[in-house]
Chain A
Amino acid sequence: MSAAVSAACQVGGGAGAEAHRMTSSAITASGLRKAYKDKVVLDGLDLEVAAGTVFSLLGPNGAGKTTTVNVLTTLMKADAGTIRVAGHDVATETKAVRAAIGVTGQFAAVDELLTGQENLQLMADLKGLDSGQSRRIIGDLLEQFDLTESAQKLSTTYSGGMRRKLDLAMTLVGKPKIIFLDEPTTGLDPRSRRTMWDIIRQLVAEGTTIFLTTQYLDEADRLADKIAVLDQGKLVAEGTPAELKRQIPGSHVRFRFTEVAEFDAALRVLPDATRDAEDDLILHVPSDGGAKSVRSLLDQLDAHSIDVDEFSVHTPDLDDVFLALTGRTSTKVEA
């Protein structure tokens, strides 16, 4: 296991390039440690999030993402380390930190016995907005999140996607400068997920800083200015999506053959091909996965009368990132 972790590599360029933006950091954390009894959850975590950017913490279940969010948002005290959020120390200026942030957790924190409108009103009252202000803000948010029609219905009757939207709308009452989103799209259908992405992009366009955790590589890729990969409480990689993708294998095509003879022939015809680690009849060939390149590969095999049993195009996912960075897949607990 430790060998796997030591195989992890750090992207140098990202950290250096970010250095000059230190002054406009929305979040800085160094040496964060947190353990539950003897189980270490955060193991010396350092983070730096520039103001007005999207920072994505990527990792599988149990990597420590939610604990990181809890510690950064004053919900939980770290065992060690220092954190500054919006220029305030989390340990000593807790109230100032709370006034500057908004948090949407993994489970929708809406009041089910209140209507959508009342939930937003509750937030406006707690933020101390006057009634004229809050009426305008609530109306705008309901419209932006496409909830106007259901505003007078109890939130128990909302679908999962609507509840998440209401949750995020509640977080936005009072315009927090920094928003933490803990797996905002986990369990959402594709359409709700795209709506969520659009909202996040709009928030960033307005200058909000977003700290986003996700287990989906494509989500981090689409939204984040910077991605940090978390594994067992440690960052195993950090950088822009482009920098990160350079470290992981790109897309490839998998070919399956019925006979060893054909497999061997294909291996000779396709010089870039590599054997699958587990299956003797499967070859991997690096490819962008486009129709043109796939056709050319198939044509080459065809020219040598090699029969392909089946083929599939494989784009990198979180598992590939983990395999590349830690030597094991995200779903396996032990290497």
Chain B
Amino acid sequence: MSDSTTMLRRNFKHTVRNPITVFNAVLFPIVLLLMFVFVIGGAFDVGVKYIDYATPGMIIMAICYGLSATATAVNSDMTKGIINRFKVMDISRSAVLNAHVAETVLRTLIAIAAIIAVAFAAGFRPTASFPEWLGAIGLLVLVSLATAWITVALGLFAKTPESAGMACVPLIMLPFLSSAIVPADTMAAGVRQFAQYQPFTPIIETLRGLLLPGDTSTSSAIQAVVWCVGIAVVGYVWSLSTFKKRA
């Protein structure tokens, strides 16, 4: 455990020293939120105030935007020789991976807090009760954890840091093809079906249900949790097997 804490401290230093990571993970989602709410969103009719509709989706996008930094960092660790030093030391083997996941989740939570604060200032008015807030936070931690493990796996799997960053692009694109920005039933046939059945739509719908007026759909919530647990398990198993092979 203490090895993981040491590694986590190391990863945090990396993050704050890399302005691109900070921008992509924290500032870019905020820029995107402001763009959609004040520039583009005025033209959308989603039935409620657009910032209320868009913020839950933007929170999920904030989770995804930081991921390429994680994949790149994991891959750099594997390709730049430092991993060989860790491997010949009497330390926990999984500390390196645990630290990347923990760092990603914590960084993501900071990004989420930032985007919620900006959304508040821009007129976002959630109606969540205390238990609903707890549910929302729980869901966000679960989504962060799941995406972090799948990203660590992608980072381990990629040949170079550059291709590791690229491997995350589908994860970053997925929320765009969900109900994050506009409801899925307004989309063209084909895209609509994709949007309805991909993991981020139930996740975002559940988050909306928790934060905004109206009931949370139980089926969405179950789908969201099942997707997250599934992605986390696949990511975890894939990470460990790839790590063992490479390490």
* Binary interface encoding of chain B residues 22-53 relative to chain A, with 1 for a CB under 8 A from any of its CBs, else 0: 00000000000000000000000000000000
* Structural contact, A113 and B13, CB atoms closer than 8 A: yes
* Structural contact, B88 and A103, CB atoms closer than 8 A: yes
* Structural contact, B13 and A98, CB atoms closer than 8 A: no
A101-B88 Cα distance, complex, nearest whole Å: 8
Q: Considering only CB atoms, which chain A residue lies closest to B247 in the complex?
A: A75
Main secondary structure of the interface of B (DSSP, over half): helix
List, in ascending order, chain A residues with CB within 8 A of B9's CB. Answer: 125
Knowing A112-B80, A125-B6, the reply to whether A98 touches B90 (Cβ < 8 A) is yes
List, in ascending order, chain B residues with CB within 8 A of A128's CB. Answer: 2
Knowing A75-B87, A125-B6, A128-B2, the reply to whether A109 touches B14 (Cβ < 8 A) is no
* Binary interface encoding of chain A residues 150-166 relative to chain B, with 1 for a CB under 8 A from any of its CBs, else 0: 00001000000000000
List, in ascending order, chain A residues with CB within 8 A of B83's CB. Answer: 109
Q: Considering only CB atoms, which chain B residue lies closest to A94 in the complex?
A: B90
B18 near A: Cβ within 8 Å? yes
* Structural contact, B88 and A114, CB atoms closer than 8 A: no
Partner pick for B81 among A73, A108, A118, A122, CB 8 A cutoff: A108
Residue count of chain B within 8 Å CB distance of chain A: 21
A225 near B: Cβ within 8 Å? no
List, in ascending order, chain B residues with CB within 8 A of A101's CB. Answer: 88
Knowing A109-B81, A125-B6, A126-B6, the reply to whether A74 touches B17 (Cβ < 8 A) is no
B241 near A: Cβ within 8 Å? no
A118-B9 Cα distance, complex, nearest whole Å: 11
Partner pick for A113 among B14, B81, B85, CB 8 A cutoff: B14
* Structural contact, B89 and A114, CB atoms closer than 8 A: no
Partner pick for A122 among B6, B17, B18, B88, CB 8 A cutoff: B6
* Binary interface encoding of chain B residues 104-146 relative to chain A, with 1 for a CB under 8 A from any of its CBs, else 0: 0000000000000000000000000000000000000000000
* Binary interface encoding of chain B residues 87-100 relative to chain A, with 1 for a CB under 8 A from any of its CBs, else 0: 11111000000000
* Binary interface encoding of chain A residues 88-103 relative to chain B, with 1 for a CB under 8 A from any of its CBs, else 0: 0000000110110101
Partner pick for A126 among B14, B18, B89, CB 8 A cutoff: B89
Q: Considering only CB atoms, which chain B residue lies closest to A99 in the complex?
A: B90
Partner pick for B88 among A73, A96, A107, A110, CB 8 A cutoff: A73
* Structural contact, B2 and A109, CB atoms closer than 8 A: no
A111 near B: Cβ within 8 Å? yes
A128-B90 Cα distance, complex, nearest whole Å: 10
| Minimum distance in angstroms from A35 CB to a CB of chain B | 18
B82 near A: Cβ within 8 Å? yes
Knowing A114-B10, A118-B13, A125-B6, the reply to whether A109 touches B82 (Cβ < 8 A) is yes
| Minimum distance in angstroms from A166 CB to a CB of chain B | 12
B193 near A: Cβ within 8 Å? no
Q: Considering only CB atoms, which chain A residue lies closest to B95 in the complex?
A: A126
List, in ascending order, chain B residues with CB within 8 A of A122's CB. Answer: 6, 10
B217 near A: Cβ within 8 Å? no
A228 near B: Cβ within 8 Å? no
List, in ascending order, chain B residues with CB within 8 A of A112's CB. Answer: 80
* Structural contact, A105 and B84, CB atoms closer than 8 A: yes
Q: Considering only CB atoms, which chain A residue lies closest to B11 in the complex?
A: A113
Most buried by A among B9, B17, B89: B89
| Minimum distance in angstroms from B3 CB to a CB of chain A | 6
A142 near B: Cβ within 8 Å? no
A170 near B: Cβ within 8 Å? yes
Knowing A113-B17, A113-B18, A122-B10, the reply to whether A98 touches B82 (Cβ < 8 A) is no
List, in ascending order, chain A residues with CB within 8 A of B14's CB. Answer: 113-114
* Binary interface encoding of chain A residues 36-75 relative to chain B, with 1 for a CB under 8 A from any of its CBs, else 0: 0000000000000000000000000000000000000111
Q: Considering only CB atoms, which chain B residue lies closest to A124 in the complex?
A: B6
Most buried by A among B14, B17, B85, B87: B85
* Structural contact, A114 and B13, CB atoms closer than 8 A: yes
18 examples of A-B residue contacts, CB within 8 angstroms: A75-B84, A75-B87, A75-B88, A95-B90, A98-B89, A99-B90, A101-B88, A103-B85, A103-B88, A105-B81, A108-B81, A109-B81, A111-B10, A111-B82, A113-B18, A122-B10, A154-B17, A171-B85
Residues of B within 8 A of A (CB): 2-3, 6, 9-10, 13-14, 17-18, 80-91
Given A75-B84, A109-B85, output 7 extra A-B contacts at Cβ < 8 Å.
A75-B88, A99-B90, A105-B85, A109-B82, A111-B82, A118-B13, A126-B86
